[in-house]
Amino acid sequence: MPIPGKSAAPSGPVAAPLGTRPASSPVTVLGGLPEVARGAEYPPLVETPIFAYFADATSVTFVDGEALYLPIKVGFEAGIQGVRDGSMLAASIEYEQRTNRRMMIPLDVKVMAFGVEHGGYVQRIELAPDRRGKPRHHHADVWTRYDVVGAEAIATFDAEGFIAFRRSLVDLLGPVHPGVIQATRSKTLQLAEAHRRIGHASPGMARIADSIEAQLAPRT
């Protein structure tokens, strides 16, 4: 029905407006966002050098009343303790073994961490390479596990596994010397007492002193 006062619409084919063309490329209706290409994801950790644990007959602490060797972590990096470019570790190892009378714990010793057996105690984690693709690594012991949560790396430490490792050091060094046990006990008691003294009987310091002394007693 023509609109009154207006001319009638043309009845033949209508010419498209200038510049308008029908779509000729395929059109897809999206049901969701397209996949975005993602590169490899790396944990947000800092670069750390390779290291070894050294066993020292005088490095002992109490855990639940048990005197256990506490291994000493020595990082190997050029410039540190005589280590030369090209990973010449001899100077650092010699310093620990000859001067400090420590024994390097072989890196391929079998250990348990988080209930799984590992053929060594050092783990290497690949980090994001530098802008030119040079690889970077974070070295940690196998008792440390990192979970990436959001933008953070959350570290969890398997204390029980590490204690079992410490217990096994008796195989390398023999039983802890009674004199070392006595000295460690005495040092622990002195530290607890220092907290009580400086704390002037404050509840907080007393609690810390109690927790230090608790190392000397078996867990109940």
Partner 1 sequence: MGDPIRTGTTPMSDILVAAITRSIGLTLGDRSGGGLLANPVLASQFLGATRLGAALGTKMVDVGWGLNKFTATSQGSDFTVETLSSAAATVTPARRGMARQVSDMARALQSMDELAFVQFVTDQTIAWQQSVVSLIASLFPSFSASGGVSGGTATWASILSAYQTLGIANSAGPYVLVLRPKDWANVASDAFALGGRVQVMPETDGYLNTVNPGFKGQFMNGNLWVYTSSELPTSAGDTVCGMFGPEALAWDAFMPEPSPATQVLLWTPLYGVEINRDSLKSEDQVVGSTHLGASIRQNAGGIKLLFAT
What are the residues binding partner 1 (CB under 8 A)? 48-49, 56, 58-59, 61, 70-75, 77-85, 91, 95-96, 99-100, 131, 141, 143-144, 155, 157, 159, 162, 190-191, 194-195, 197-200, 202, 204-205, 208, 211-212
Nearer to partner 1, 17 or 79 (CB): 79
Angle subtended by helix axes 178-199 and 203-214, to nearest 10? 170
Neighbouring CB atoms inside 10 A of 90's CB total: 10
DSSP 54-70: EEETT-EEEETTEEEE-
Q: What are phi and psi of 183, to 5 degrees?
A: -65, -40
Radius of gyration over alpha carbons of the chain, in Å?
34
Nearer to partner 1, 116 or 194 (CB): 194
In the complex, the smallest distance separating the C-beta of residue 89 from partner 1, rounded to whole angstroms, is 12
In the complex, the smallest distance separating the C-beta of residue 182 from partner 1, rounded to whole angstroms, is 16
In the complex, the smallest distance separating the C-beta of residue 209 from partner 1, rounded to whole angstroms, is 8
In the complex, the smallest distance separating the C-beta of residue 35 from partner 1, rounded to whole angstroms, is 22
Assess contact for 69 and 55: CB atoms under 8 A.
Answer: yes
Nearer to partner 1, 13 or 58 (CB): 58
Nearer to partner 1, 7 or 181 (CB): 181
In the complex, the smallest distance separating the C-beta of residue 153 from partner 1, rounded to whole angstroms, is 12
Assess contact for 180 and 101: CB atoms under 8 A.
Answer: no
Which neighbouring-strand residues pair with 138? 125
Assess contact for 107 and 120: CB atoms under 8 A.
Answer: yes
Q: SS3 of 72, please?
A: strand
| Alpha carbons 137 and 48: distance in angstroms, whole number | 7
In the complex, the smallest distance separating the C-beta of residue 93 from partner 1, rounded to whole angstroms, is 12
Nearer to partner 1, 79 or 178 (CB): 79
Nearer to partner 1, 159 or 170 (CB): 159
